[in-house]
Structure 1
Amino acid sequence: MYSRARIEDTNSVCLWLGANVMLEYSCEEATTLLQKNSENAKASLEVLVADLQFLRDQVTIMQVTIAHVYNWDVHQKRIRQAGVPAKDS
């Protein structure tokens, strides 16, 4: 739902901070606070994206390692079934 409104010039604004907390700030203070929060959120996003990329890499490494272990086990079972003594490698 959208609405049009005409607001008179004001010297302060109320910001909803969450947890049922609303504070009144001057326009300058509110702008500074919102810009700082925006910068902090962007920095946090960059860190989270880097962490996610690291986790993706680790998942890929884990999947390849599991495949190697599985293939090694299949190879060892085939050797045992053939009756050839297994060598340590």
Structure 2
Amino acid sequence: TFGNYCWNNTFGNYLCYLIADDNVKYVAVVTAISSPGYVQRARILNGTSGSNSSNRLQIAFKTNAKGCQFAGLNSSGILKIWTPADLV
């Protein structure tokens, strides 16, 4: 599922149930070439963006994760990937 104003993104193989919120641009979701499993239930948060099409933000979600994974930029502009249930 893709939100509004998403463009210039690339997606690797072995992805299921991926959500890209609004304004996700210049992102590359990368996965292993011959992954033993799938990236499932992952979400890229609103406004997560790389610089341009030559410098995409690389997002590598874990395969076979038990919970939903989120990716987004923190307040310092650094990419973070996490599973919210692991934080409690």
Length-normalised TM-score, structure 2: 0.22
Q: Which has the higher contact order (CA 8 A, sep 6+)?
A: 2
Larger Rg: 1
- Which structure carries more helix by proportion? 1
Specify which structure has the higher proportion of strand: 2
TM-score normalised by L of structure 1: 0.21
